[in-house]
Amino acid sequence: MTLQTDMRRDGYVILRGLLRPDEIARLRGELRAHFARSWHAEGLGKHQPEAALKIPAIGWIYHHPAILQGFRAVSGSDALVFTANSDAHMNMLSWWHKDTSENQGGCFSGDYFARPGCNVFRAGIYLQDQSHKGGLTVRPGSQTSRSPMTGPAETLKTAAGDVVFFDIRLSHAGQFPDPVETALLRAARIRRLRSTATVLKHGWHRLMRKPDKLSLFFTYGAAAADTEEFCHFEWNRQARGRNGIAPPLTPVLSGGLERAGVRFGAMAAGG
C-alpha cells in the first residue's frame, strides 16, 4: 500500500524521523524566542497564526526536503503549492475541530466531504515526544463526515522529529484540558477574567511540572482545483486588514520555495 492509499483511507499518515535532533532543537529555540515577545492568546496558551510570515526565522522548515517529499508522497503529485497557512502553538489547549474553517462558511464549495479525494494536506510537527497524551488525537476516516465527532478517537504517539500529515477535513484535536483547565477555560470566556485564567493555568502547569509543549502546523496542496480554491479562501482571509496587499515573503522562504519548485499560495490565488 502506498502513503497516498493510507491517506485516502485514514485521513492521516505518520512519517518517522524526518527531522534531525539538531533541527528540532533549532526550531524549538526559534519558536521560544518568538513567543517570548509576541503571540495571540488562545486556549490559555500562545498561538501565532500566519507563522510563515510572522516568524521569519523558521522560513527554512517550509521547504525542508524531507517534508516536501512527504507532501508529494501523500498527494501523489510532484507539483506542490504552499498555501501560506501556518500556525505555531505553545502550551495551547485544544478541542475537536477540522481545519476547513466551518465557522467562516468553509474553505471549499459544494459538498466537499463527499469528494473521494482532497488535495490539501496539513503537516503537524510536535517538537517533543508525545508518547502518552497531549499530542495529536484523530478520528480515522472522518474526512468524509461534516461532524467533528464522527468515529472513534485515536491518540497518535509521536517522537520529536516525526511529522504527521493529514487531510484538512480530518477531525482532530491537540491537548485536551484537564478538570482544572476546563474550569479556567470557562472563566476565560468572561473577558475580564481571561488574562487571570491564563496566568493561573501557567501556574498550574508549573505546579504539576508539565513541560512546555511546542508545535507547528502548515498546509500544502497538490496543484489542483481543491488547492486553488483553498488558496483563494486563504488569500481573502489574510487580505482582511492588509488592504488587499499580498503578504510579504522573507528571502529565506521565497528563495527556498523557488529552488524547490514550489508555488506560493498568493500567486496561485491570483494575488
Q: Please indicate, yes or no, whether residues 65 and 94 belong to a single structural domain of this protein.
A: yes
d(CA 214, CA 241): 28
pLDDT digits (tens, 9 = 90+) for 230-267: 998 887 777 665 665 656 778 889 999 999 999 987 54
d(CA 23, CA 153): 30
- At residue 156's C-alpha, the angle toward residues 28 and 18, to 5°, is 50
- Domain with 56, as residue range(s), is 3-175+213-268
pLDDT at residue 271 tops 50: no
pLDDT at residue 114 tops 90: no
d(CA 149, CA 77): 30
Closest to 117 measured CA to CA, from 217, 221, 15, 266: 221
pLDDT digits (tens, 9 = 90+) for 32-63: 999 999 999 899 999 999 999 899 999 999 99
pLDDT digits (tens, 9 = 90+) for 120-163: 999 999 999 997 777 899 999 999 999 999 999 999 999 999 99
Average pLDDT for the chain: 90
CATH code of the domain containing 91? 2.60.120.620
Q: Please indicate, yes or no, whether residues 29 and 155 belong to a single structural domain of this protein.
A: yes
pLDDT at residue 75 tops 90: yes
Say if CB 88 and CB 30 are below 8 A apart.
Answer: no
Residue 110, pLDDT score: 87
Q: Please indicate, yes or no, whether residues 184 and 227 belong to a single structural domain of this protein.
A: no
Q: Please indicate, yes or no, whether residues 181 and 170 belong to a single structural domain of this protein.
A: no
Q: Please indicate, yes or no, whether residues 80 and 144 belong to a single structural domain of this protein.
A: yes
pTM score, whole prediction: 0.93
Closest to 49 measured CA to CA, from 269, 241, 245, 244: 241
CB neighbour list of residue 250: distance below 8 Å, 6 or more residues apart: 53, 56, 59
Q: Please indicate, yes or no, whether residues 102 and 116 belong to a single structural domain of this protein.
A: yes
